[in-house]
Chain A
Amino acid sequence: MHFFIVFYRGLCKKTPIYLHSPRRFGLFVRTLFTLCILAGLAIPQARGAEPRSFTFLPHWLPQAQFAGYYMAHEKGFYKKRDIDVSILRGGPGHPPSETIARGRVDFASTFLSSAIELRSRGVRLVNIGQVVQRSGFILVTKKTSGIKSPADLNGKKVGIWPEFRLQPQAFFRKYGVDVKPVHQGATMDLFLRGGVVAASAMWYNEYHTLLNSGLNEDELTPFFFDRHGLNFPEDGIYCLEETYRRNAKLCCGFVRASFEGWEYAFAHPEEALDVVMRYIRAANVGTNRVHQKWMLARMKDLIFPPGGDTVTGRLKREDYLRVAGEMERHGLIKEIPPYGEMYADCTGPR
């Protein structure tokens, strides 16, 4: 997902930007509720005629995490379905939740947990396609720290992203360990220098950052949450209920074209990387092609079912209930939004 500003270690003391990571966008949620009410009122007036032009906002800066959308646009898969899509530049300052709630974009990608939280606060979001099926969220430790099983983490300092503490906390509870959580910042330096024993990481992003900081894979022990019964599917495609109701066919066309874009990107990784790097350069993001190559390959692992080569794209009820249930247990939401209201299946016959 985010944080390709791997190399941007700026202190930014003089430009105290609030957000340096969408992980922070959980903080927005508190203020969003009121905005959502406004948004809910605004949309019907803003949209009159049936729109044929759509906007899409990825939930972070350009990177291979969104290669499928770029390729669908590049190869004309949207046009083919009579949809004119503009892909907006995501990143800090452009949280999809806020933007979509205000009706500034038609489609946005975001994490399932974030979407559930928004929905529970009254933003009438619907999931129209669950792109990522497997959670790419991991905890990683160095072999030298002697951590071999989750139980070994007991009493150790573990870097946690506060807005994504849900999965690790469920993990710790499952194995009955009590860790010392340390607020994990924007870089992996704390972990690299030994400030924490374990760190939060996205398999497709921070994990590779560690490899590109000179650590070998055989020197690391990763704990994949999905392999511990805690699969929280991440990136999905969302729009407002209103948008879907008016343009169900076009919404599903957008979803299917995006899936086609993903399949094309995985089948032609070098071509896809060329396009991704073009978006990256345009946004002046500090990353490199090798990193994006790794990310694209890992996205394939997370999007395609094991051994498969097509995007399933369905939000499974059990996945939804697992994520929402865990959120409810932690008090992040008061009640679980009904699955049928939250999910509109666009994966019928294409």
Chain B
Amino acid sequence: MPTAPDPVKRRGLAFKLSLMILTGTAFIFTVAFGYNYIYSRNQILRDVENNAQNLTLAAVGRIETVLQGAQKDPASLAHTLSGRKLDQETLLQRIDALLDNNPEIFGSAVAFEPYAFDPRTRAFAPYAFREGQSLKRISLGGNDYSYFFRDWYQVPKELERAVWSEPYFDEGAGNIMMSTYSVPFSQERGGTRVFTGIVTADISLDWLVDIVSRLSPYQSGFAFLISQSGVFVTHPDREWIMHESIFSVAEAANDPDLRGAGRAMILGEKGFVALRDHFAGQKAWMYYAPLPSVGWSIGVVFPEAALFAGLKDLNRVVLIIGTTGFAILFLIIVLISGTITRPLRTLAAEAMEIARGNLDIEVSDVTSRDEVGDLSRSFDNMKAALKEYIANLAETTAAKERYESELKIARTIQMSFLPKNFPPFPEYVEFDIYATLDPAKEVGGDLYDFFLLDDDHLFFSIGDVSGKGVPAALFMAAAKTLMKGTAGREMAPSEILSKVNHELCLENDSMMFVTVFCGILNFRTGEVRYSNAGHNPPLVLRPERPPEWLPLPEGFLLGAMEDSPYETRQILLAPGDTLLLYTDGVTEAMNGDKLFYEERRLVRVTEDHGQAPPEELIQEVLRSVRAFAGSEPQSDDITMLALAFRGRAENPS
């Protein structure tokens, strides 16, 4: 019987089912959740980028309008100065007019090359700027102030084009942030155009700072502006303004990505990039776009937490739904696997009960229409079949036992037919007779018999009925009875056989037959008359002589042919001679190698013990046969009869 698996390692079907289904579900859920997250995230980033782009570009448009507006008049004045020289009066009027027409311009100057306006004056640069509601005019060129190497002058001069300066704080104008637009102009001198000076317009950047600071749509986000060299022009952290550049921040944080973004910004590119948390205090995204006129760049920073706040909420809900669903699924699986495994467990318990022999147990769940029901029904059928089989078996066994006991009785009856009291005739000393029938397991058909016909004659016989079982036993009984009834003092053995044969053949529908050897001993003389019906020849054992086979007349077995002729022969026994009769149960006894005992072994045994009394002789032969057969079961009756002649009283034994 197989042992139950270790209960610790034993995993029920419900457990396995739950594990597999839940693992699969978790995997699918995770993939779906992950995809949803990534997709939503990218969608949000796209939306934010679009939104930022729209916002920023709108702001850029507004700023550009102002900046380009401020460029017009200085450019126009520079163009005028390129065409012709203006006298000082006109020049100052033009500067005033420029300021009057452009409220966004804080101050304006026209600066000339050394001695270019007036050959006696080295530096000539009239400058007008707003002070309150009125204009104030000063001259930039002084004895110890040389503007020639200022960036606002030198850069456009060397580049030969108009430029916006880097932003700067103007202390004179109340520390407001400014940028100067400078337009170079040249005049004809000696046939060639020679650089002559610069027209400038200073613009306050306060309005620009205001526009930029309102750009971020998120409370925690912000926008900033960097100049052409990356310096912060506006930033929520005032410490950074004009002190730090996007590159110094990148260097301090060792952030090459930020440096890359900064380079793209000052190159006038647009883009949307992720920022590490040092820049905005948390992870963030930045959209950037250039201010083309000035070459600066606006960056709008969106904190990731704010961007993905909605997504985070959504994720939380999805996660809760997922977890709840998971729990429900778990319960359902436990329930389902319970409905599957409970009947199975019941069935297993019932099967154990059946194995223990309880066939009367009711198999449950035979009404379900599923596989478990099928299994239950199969089990029920098996149980019924087993029960039926066992019932049959009991019946058969009972029948067999009855049959066997009947056989046993038959056997007993059969054996009781045979003379079994030895010595049978103690009053006669002239002969000694001993016989034995060692029955095989089944009922056999061997027989022996002897009885006195008168005071001088002893009839003895041995026979072997064909076949086995009750019919053989009955046939044997019939043959023996017939022989006893037929035998008489006056009759020759052949006559007895003929008569018995005749009788047996009369009603022998079952076609049974029997071999018989019979003889009549005159124990006064030692003369033996004998006849044979198909039986083995007996052995004649004489003192000092080797065993001999008794010569037998022809004679067919009894019960086969009605008119078989039989012949009687004679032999004279001397005192001390012994006749040994036997059936083929002796010579055809088999050993484990399926070899027969054979006549030669019988002869050898009788050689040694031929002069022993009959009982001893027979016991010796039996011992020899049994030794030969070993453990091989006996298949036929072993029957022997020994008759020793002693002679008259003068030779008492």
List B contacts of A287 (CB < 8 A): 243
B169 pairs with A213, CB closer than 8 A:
no
A288-B145 in contact given A10-B170, A190-B158, A192-B229 (Cβ < 8 Å):
no
B247 pairs with A13, CB closer than 8 A:
no
List A contacts of B263 (CB < 8 A): 214, 216
Contact residue among A9, A214, A216, A289 (Cβ-Cβ distance under 8 Å from B166): A9
A253 → chain B closest CB, angstroms? 37
B155 pairs with A189, CB closer than 8 A:
yes
B159 within 8 A of A: yes
B412 → chain A closest CB, angstroms? 123
B251 pairs with A190, CB closer than 8 A:
no
A195 to B160, CA, bound (A): 9
List A contacts of B154 (CB < 8 A): 182-183, 185, 190, 195
B407 within 8 A of A: no
A276 to B145, CA, bound (A): 32
A211 within 8 A of B: yes
List B contacts of A186 (CB < 8 A): 149-151
A81 to B545, CA, bound (A): 155
A289 to B151, CA, bound (A): 25
A16 to B150, CA, bound (A): 11
A282 within 8 A of B: no
- Name which residue of chain B comes closest to A294, CB basis: B251
Secondary structure of the A contact surface, majority rule: loop
B145 pairs with A16, CB closer than 8 A:
yes
A214 pairs with B159, CB closer than 8 A:
no
A184 to B151, CA, bound (A): 9
Contact residue among A183, A193, A214 (Cβ-Cβ distance under 8 Å from B163): A193
B273 within 8 A of A: no
Interface code B112-149, partner A: CB below 8 Å = 1, 0 otherwise?
A: 00000000000000010100000000101010110111
A11-B150 in contact given A190-B155, A192-B229, A196-B158 (Cβ < 8 Å):
yes
B243 pairs with A187, CB closer than 8 A:
no
Count how many chain B residues have C-beta atoms less than 8 Å from C-beta atoms of the other chain. Answer: 49
- Name which residue of chain A comes closest to B244, CB basis: A288
Q: Which of A140-170 contact B (CB under 8 A)?
A: 157
List A contacts of B168 (CB < 8 A): 8-11
B262 within 8 A of A: yes
Contact residue among A9, A183, A196, A290 (Cβ-Cβ distance under 8 Å from B251): A290
Contact residue among B129, B148, B172, B248 (Cβ-Cβ distance under 8 Å from A212): B248
Q: Which of B149, B165, B248 has the most CB of A within 10 A?
A: B248
List A contacts of B107 (CB < 8 A): 13
A16-B142 in contact given A11-B152, A190-B155, A193-B163 (Cβ < 8 Å):
yes
- Name which residue of chain B comes closest to A192, CB basis: B229
A175 → chain B closest CB, angstroms? 24
Q: Which of A12-34 contact B (CB under 8 A)?
A: 12-18
Interface code A265-296, partner B: CB below 8 Å = 1, 0 otherwise?
A: 00000000000000000000011111100000
List B contacts of A211 (CB < 8 A): 247, 251
Interface code B148-188, partner A: CB below 8 Å = 1, 0 otherwise?
A: 11111011001100010111111111000000100000000
A288 to B249, CA, bound (A): 9
A211 to B169, CA, bound (A): 23
A176 → chain B closest CB, angstroms? 25
Contact residue among B129, B229, B243 (Cβ-Cβ distance under 8 Å from A286): B243
B251 pairs with A212, CB closer than 8 A:
yes
Contact residue among B129, B148, B149, B155 (Cβ-Cβ distance under 8 Å from A193): B155
A229 within 8 A of B: no
A214-B127 in contact given A183-B148, A185-B154 (Cβ < 8 Å):
no
A13-B172 in contact given A185-B149, A288-B244 (Cβ < 8 Å):
yes
- Name which residue of chain A comes closest to B160, CB basis: A195
A193 to B156, CA, bound (A): 10
A189 pairs with B262, CB closer than 8 A:
no
B533 → chain A closest CB, angstroms? 134
Contact residue among A10, A13, A15, A193 (Cβ-Cβ distance under 8 Å from B159): A193
List B contacts of A13 (CB < 8 A): 107, 109, 127, 138, 140, 147, 172
B231 within 8 A of A: yes
A189 → chain B closest CB, angstroms? 5
Contact residue among A7, A14, A16 (Cβ-Cβ distance under 8 Å from B243): A7
A7 pairs with B247, CB closer than 8 A:
no
Q: Which of B400-418 contact A (CB under 8 A)?
A: none
B248 pairs with A15, CB closer than 8 A:
no
In the complex, besides A7-B166, A11-B168, A195-B158, 13 extra interface pairs with C-beta distance below 8 angstroms are A9-B168, A13-B109, A13-B147, A13-B172, A183-B149, A186-B151, A192-B229, A214-B247, A214-B259, A214-B262, A288-B248, A288-B252, A290-B249
